[in-house]
Amino acid sequence: MDAKKHNFVERAISGDLMRSLKEVPVTALLGPRQCGKSTLARHLLSQWPGESVYLDLERPSHVRRLRDPELFLSQQKGRLVCLDEVQRQPGLFSVLRTLADDDRLGLRFLLLGSAAPELLRQSSETLAGRIRYHHLTPFQWREARGVVTGDRPAFFTHWRRGGFPGSLLAGSEEESLLWREQFASTFLERDVPLCGGVAYSETLGRLWRMAAHVHGQLLNSSRLGESMGVSHTAVRGWLGLLESMYMVRLLPPLHANLKKRLVKAPKLYFRDSGILHSLLEIEDQNALLGHPCLGASWEGWCMEQLTMAMPRWRASFYRDSNGQEVDLVLDRGTRRLAFEFKMSLSPELSRSGHAALELLKPTQTWVVCPMEDAGYEIAPGVSVCGIDEALRKAQAAAD
pLDDT per residue over 3-47, tens digit each?
444 568 889 999 999 999 999 999 999 998 899 999 999 999 999
Distance of alpha carbon 306 from alpha carbon 330, whole angstroms: 9
Name the residue ranges covered by the structural domains of the chain. Answer: 14-135, 141-398
Residues 280-302: tens digit of each pLDDT: 999 999 999 999 999 999 999 99
pLDDT at 201: 72
Tell whether the model's pLDDT for residue 323 goes beyond 90. no
Pick the most confident of 227-231, 325-329, 372-376: 325-329
Backbone angles phi, psi at 300, to 5 degrees: -65, -40
Task: Kindly compute the dihedral angle of the four CA atoms of residues 265, 266, 270, 272, in this order, to the nearest 10 degrees.
Answer: 170
Distance of alpha carbon 316 from alpha carbon 311, whole angstroms: 13
Spatial CB neighbours of 372, under 8 Å, sequence gap ≥ 6: 153, 154, 386, 388
Instruction: Please choose, from the candidates 221, 24, 43, the residue with its C-alpha nearest in 3D space to the C-alpha of residue 130.
Output: 24
- Determine whether 214 is exposed, middle or buried from the number of CB atoms within 10 Å of its CB (0-12, 13-18, 19+): middle
C-alpha distances (whole Å) from 167 to each of 11, 162, 256, 372 are: 17, 7, 40, 24
| Contact indicator for 343, 370 with CB cutoff of 8 Å | yes
pLDDT at 93: 86
Residues 63-104: tens digit of each pLDDT: 999 999 999 999 999 999 999 988 788 788 889 999 999 999
* Amino acid at position 113, single letter: G
pLDDT > 90 in the chain, percent: 64
How many CB atoms neighbour CB 363 within 10 A? 12
Residues 154-195: tens digit of each pLDDT: 899 999 999 999 999 999 999 999 999 999 988 888 877 766
**Residue-wise DSSP of 16-68:** HHHHHHHHSSEEEEE--TTSSHHHHHHHHHHH-SS-EEEEETTSHHHHHTTSS
| CATH dotted code for 141-398 | 1.10.10.10
In sign, the C-alpha dihedral spanning 333, 132, 165, 214 is negative
To the nearest 10 degrees (0 to 180), the angle between helices 232-244 and 116-126 is: 70
Tell whether the model's pLDDT for residue 196 goes beyond 90. no
pLDDT at 197: 58
pLDDT at 4: 47
Between residues 150 and 312, the one the model is more confident about: 312
Same fold flag, 14-135 and 141-398? no
* Amino acid at position 283, single letter: E
| Contact indicator for 164, 274 with CB cutoff of 8 Å | yes
**Assigned fold of 14-135:** Rossmann fold (3.40.50)
DSSP element (H, E) containing 338: strand 335-341
Average pLDDT, the chain: 89
pLDDT at 1: 46
Distance of alpha carbon 298 from alpha carbon 282, whole angstroms: 14
Residues 244-276: tens digit of each pLDDT: 888 999 999 998 666 666 778 999 999 999 999
DSSP code at position 86: G
Q: What is the pTM of this model?
A: 0.90
pLDDT at 245: 85
Spatial CB neighbours of 272, under 8 Å, sequence gap ≥ 6: 138, 162, 163, 164, 247, 304
Distance of alpha carbon 232 from alpha carbon 245, whole angstroms: 20
Residue 149 backbone zone (phi > 0: left; psi -120 to 50: alpha; other: beta): beta
DSSP element (H, E) containing 84: strand 80-84
* Range in 64-73, 166-175, 347-356, 362-371 the model is least confident about: 347-356
How many CB atoms neighbour CB 342 within 10 A? 20
pLDDT at 106: 93
